[in-house]
Amino acid sequence: MTDLDVTADPYAAADTAAAALNQALGEHDAAIVLGSGWGESLASLGTIGAEIPAADLPGFAGSTVAGHKGTITSVTTAGGRKVLAFAGRVHLYEGHGPALVVHGVRTAVRAGCRTIVLTNAAGGLDPEHRVGDAVLIADHLNLQGESPMAGASPPDEMGARFVDLTDTYTDRLRVMARQLDPQLREGVYCGLRGPHYETPAEVRMLRRLGTDLVGMSTVLEAIAARHLGAEILGLSIVTNAAAGLGDEELDHRDVLVVAKASAARTLALVADVLDRA
């Protein structure tokens, strides 16, 4: 990670990183954050161009998690949409604060990306969601105990910290995705801190709260992107039944296998949505 204190002034840090990102890879109008295991299918999004290590940019940290390559790649969809693909997501459970967790998303928006696609690998709580299914995120529960809006106040031109999350996951993008794939289901994603998996009792609680998908990412990034005015499309791949709902022991290696197998067709759908958005 380059020597930049993201926590002290996360908005100035994002602007500094955005300038460096545009200089390195050029301007783009959309970005996608790749969940665990998604990165190996990136060619399904479009033609792969230049790539840089995320940690070369101001304020970025390298990921310590298997399935997160730690790069930012320029991709051009079949329709000519220029997309930044972030395969360097970091998480609260790695010891980072919320400002660093959302630094990539803030940087992307400040670099000119008005559409942000957030993807993840998730445990499934809805019995109708099969392992390997892609599910649209319609809403979320943030149970990570953190918010990227806490701390330093944003500059006036970026809007108040009291961001309205009513339409976090943009309705028109979700409608477009369902039109392209009528089999696509929607669900509510719950973000927990991790890195341990949930207990069966916690899963039963989450189901009563209306949770369909559970994971350890996404929600803070969505809040930060929504605050900066970006449109957001969220997609989970169900990589396992949540604790107590299946017969298999939960293992991150199995998560990566399922995500890798399912990501290609889901990224192709993302490309189609971006080309029509």
- Catalytic residue ranges: 36, 68, 91, 93-94, 121, 216-217, 240, 252
Determine the Cα–Cα distance for residues 181 and 171; give it in Å rounded to an integer: 15
Of 192, 269, 183, give the one whose Cα is nearest residue 233. Answer: 269
Amino acid at the residue 138: A
Determine the Cα–Cα distance for residues 132 and 134; give it in Å rounded to an integer: 7
CB neighbour list of residue 84: distance below 8 Å, 6 or more residues apart: 21, 25, 28, 30, 31, 32, 72, 73, 74, 75, 108, 111, 113
